[in-house]
Structures are given as structure tokens and as C-alpha cells.
């Protein structure tokens, strides 16, 4: 399952507000809001306005890890000790505890406001940060603020 370890978010102040028709349903309102926000951000960027930037670290978490459920298995043959779907031998239904299907969600592990200088530094040192994420199998927000040219 593809996963990511961090995201960079740029937030802008709202300058343009959406106008909804009186009979608009929630789906139409979402579409109008999305279009208005994109126009607002484009206009602000064209004027040289920069948003506030945040670095957010996260990890993928299985909400069902370690959770078991009782499940029925049909067509079990006691004599053979396995399943028989031929219908030629007597079978029974057995119950077993099995792991629940994974249910994945992202959990935020850190959030910091950063500036454009720090964002540039992260991009330049991404190779070192990513290498460390792969080695240690998780991510800490502090890794984005270390001086990698001094680290050995």
C-alpha cells in the first residue's frame, strides 16, 4: 500500500468568498467552494502573496492491528483436517479467530510552521531525510531541521 511520511501545506487567507444559489445542494456548494478557493489562491499568487507554510509529519496506522474476530468456515472435514468442497465426504462448520481486515488511517506525528528558506533546505536535503526514513521505518519532524551537511 503506497504511503507518505510528510506533507507540506500552504495556507492562504481567504480574500474571495463563494456565493451559493438558494437551491444549491451540498455537492454543488462543495464544487463552488473549490472553484472559488482555487481562483482566490491563483489571484493571490499572481499578486506575489505567499501563504503560510506548514510541515506535517505522519504515519500510516492500522486501526485493526491485533483485533481478532470469530469467523465461520464451512466444509471442514475433520478426518482429513482440511476443507473439502467436493461434497463426497461429510463436512462441518468450524469457528476460528482471525485477524480483522486492515483499516488504514494517517496519524499526525508532528506539525511546524516553516518559511520558504526552510522549505528550500528540505528540498535540497530530501535525499538524506528520505534515506533516514527508510532506515528507521518512521519519521520525526526534527529530522527536517537537522544540518545534513554537518552530519556523518
Question: In this structure, what C-alpha cell is assigned to residue 95?
Answer: 469457528
pTM for this prediction: 0.70
State the residue for C-alpha cell 472559488.
36
Domain ranges of the chain: 66-101
- How many helices, marked H, and strands, marked E, lie in the chain? 3, 6
d(CA 108, CA 105): 10
Q: One digit per residue, pLDDT tens: the chain, 152 residues?
A: 557 889 999 999 999 999 999 999 999 999 999 999 999 999 999 999 999 999 999 988 999 999 999 988 888 887 777 777 787 878 888 888 999 999 999 999 999 999 999 999 999 988 888 888 888 877 888 888 887 655 54
Amino acid at each position: 500500500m503506497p504511503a507518505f511520511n510528510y506533507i507540506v501545506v500552504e495556507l492562504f487567507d481567504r480574500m474571495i468568498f463563494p456565493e451559493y444559489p438558494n437551491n444549491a445542494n451540498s455537492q454543488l456548494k462543495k464544487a463552488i467552494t473549490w472553484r472559488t478557493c482555487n481562483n482566490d489562491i491563483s489571484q493571490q499568487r499572481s499578486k506575489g502573496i505567499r501563504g503560510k507554510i506548514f510541515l506535517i509529519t505522519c504515519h500510516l496506522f492500522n486501526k485493526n492491528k491485533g483485533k481478532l474476530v470469530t469467523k465461520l468456515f464451512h466444509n471442514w472435514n475433520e478426518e482429513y483436517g482440511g476443507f473439502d468442497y467436493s461434497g463426497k465426504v461429510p463436512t462441518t462448520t468450524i469457528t476460528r479467530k482471525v485477524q480483522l481486515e486492515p483499516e488504514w488511517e494517517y496519524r499526525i506525528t508532528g506539525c511546524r510552521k516553516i518559511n520558504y528558506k526552510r522549505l528550500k533546505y528540505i528540498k535540497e536535503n530530501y535525499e538524506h531525510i528520505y534515506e533516514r526514513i527508510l532506515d528507521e521505518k518512521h519519521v520525526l519532524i526534527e529530522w527536517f531541521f537537522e544540518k545534513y551537511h554537518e552530519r556523518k
